Structure 1
Amino acid sequence: MPEQTPLDLFDPGAVEVTPLPAAEVRRRGDRRRRRRAAAVSLGAAAAVAVVAVAGTGLVDQGRRSAPPAGSPSSPPQSADEWRTDIPSGFPLERGLRAPEGDPISGPGARARGIAPLDICEDDGNGPAQWPGDYVERLAASASGPELLDARELVTFPDDRAATAVLATIRDRVARCGDGDTRWTVHESSGVGDESLTLSRTFELGLGGDVYQLTRVGNAILAVDLGGEWDLGSTVPAGIEDASATSADLVTAMCVFAVEGCDGGPEEPSELPAGLPIGAGMSDPRVFPGRALLAEELELCGERPLSAVDAVDARSARLAGGETSETRTVLLFSEESVADDAQAALVSSAQRCPRGDVPGSEVEVLPGTDGWPGRTIRTTYAGEPPTAMLVHVVRVGPALLLSESYAGAGPDAVTDTRDLIEPQLAALEELRD
Structure 2
Amino acid sequence: MPDPTDPDYLAELENFSTPGLTMDPLPAAEVRRRGTRMRRRHQALATVGAVAAVAVIATPIALAASGGNQGQPLPVDQQPPGGWTTTIPTDFPLTTGFPTPATTRPAAVGEIPNCGDWPSQKPADDLAVRYRGESEDYAQRWLVVYPDEATAAAELDALRDATADCAPVPGGEGIEMFFSSVPAPDQLTADDAYAYTQQARHDDGLISDLTLVEVFRTGNALLYDSAYGSAGGDQAVQYELDRRTGAVEPTVAAMCVFSIEGCDPADPDASEAVDEPTGLSGTIPDAFPLDEGLPTDAEGGIGVEGPAHELDLEGYNVESSLRACGAAPTGLPEPVDTLYAGHRTISTGILRQLMTFASADAAQAYAEGVIAPFAACPEDADDRGVSKTYEVDESDLGDYAASSVMRVEVDGEPGPGGQIVQVVRVGQAVLQTLVNHDGDAFDADAVTAHLDGARAVVDEMD
Give TM-score scaled by structure 2 length: 0.48
Residue 279 of structure 2 is aligned to residue 294 of structure 1:
yes
Map 1:212-361 onto structure 2 (within 5 A): 212-264=214-266, 294-295=279-280, 301-302=283-284, 347=333, 349=335, 352=338, 355-357=339-341, 360=351
Cα RMSD, aligned residues only: 4.9
In the aligned structure 2, how far is the partner of 1:131 from the partner of 1:182? 25
Which has the greater radius of gyration?
2
Q: Give secondary structure in 2 for the equivalent of 1:206.
A: strand
> Matches of 2:128 and 2:448 in 1, distance apart?
35
Shift of 1:77: 4.2
Distance verdict in 2 for CA 1:263–1:176, change over 3 Å: same
Please say if residues 7 and 148 of structure 1, whose CA atoms lie closer than 8 Å, have aligned partners that are also in contact: no
Query: Aligned residues: percent identity?
Result: 18
Using the alignment, how far apart are the partners of 1:414 and 1:171 within structure 2?
A: 52
Q: 1:116 aligns with which of 105, 112, 115?
A: 112
Q: 1:230 to 1:320 in 2, by over 3 A?
A: closer
Alpha-carbon contact 1:389-1:413 (below 8 Å) kept: no
SS at match of 2:154: helix
Q: Is the alpha carbon distance of 1:217 and 1:128 closer, same or farther for their aligned partners in structure 2, counting shifts above 3 Å? A: same
1:176 aligns with 2:201: no
Contact 2:210 2:228 in 1 (8 A): yes
Cα distance between partner residues in 2 of 1:217 and 1:263: 18
The equivalent residue for 2:447 is: 412
Q: List alignment gaps of at least 5 residues for structure 2.
A: 1-26, 32-50, 60-68, 170-175, 270-276, 286-291, 297-331, 343-348, 356-365, 372-391, 406-416, 437-441, 456-462
Q: CA deviation at 1:200?
A: 1.0
Q: Contact conserved, 1:193 with 1:215, CA < 8 A, in 2?
A: yes
> Structure 1, residues 18-45: CA drift from partner, whole Å, max 9, x if none?
xxxxxxxxxxxxxxxxxxxxxxxxx99x
| Contact persistence 1:109–1:136 (CA under 8 A) | no
Change (3 A) 1:386 1:241: closer
Query: How many angstroms apart in 2 are the aligned matches of 1:214 and 1:171?
Result: 16
Instruction: Tell me if the contact between 2:146 and 2:220 (Cα under 8 Å) persists in the aligned partners.
Output: yes
Most deviating of 401-410 and 221-230: 401-410
Q: Post-superposition shift, 1:255?
A: 0.9
Please tell me whether the aligned partners of residues 365 and 377 of structure 1 are also in contact (alpha carbons under 8 angstroms).
no
In the TM superposition, 1:13-412 aligns within 5 A as 46-49=71-74, 71-73=76-78, 76-77=79-80, 81-98=83-100, 104-106=102-104, 108-110=105-107, 115-118=111-114, 121=115, 127-130=116-119, 132-144=121-133, 145-179=135-169, 180-190=176-186, 191=188, 192-204=190-202, 206-264=208-266, 294-295=279-280, 301-302=283-284, 347=333, 349=335, 352=338, 355-357=339-341, 360=351, 362=353, 364-366=366-368, 374-375=400-401, 389-392=423-426, 412=447
2:267 and 2:261 mapped to 1: Cα distance? 13
Per-residue deviation, 1:93: 2.0
SS of alignment partner, residue 157 of structure 1: coil
Tell me the distance in 2 between the aligned counterparts of 1:388 and 1:370: 10
Structure 1 pair 131/96, CA: closer, same or farther in 2 (3 Å)? Answer: farther
If the length of structure 1 is used for normalisation, what is the TM-score?
0.51
* Distance in 2 separating the partners of 1:414 and 1:176: 51
Tell me the number of residue pairs that the alignment of Structure 1 and Structure 2 aligns: 278
Structure 1 residues 149, 228: closer, same or farther in 2, change over 3 A? Answer: same
Q: 1:139 to 1:414 in 2, by over 3 A?
A: farther
Give secondary structure in 2 for the equivalent of 1:356.
strand
361-370 vs 133-142, greater mean Cα deviation? 361-370
Say whether the 8 Å CA contact 2:146–2:221 is kept in structure 1.
Answer: yes
Confirm or deny: 8 A CA contact 1:208 1:226 kept in the other structure: yes
1:282: which partner in 2?
none
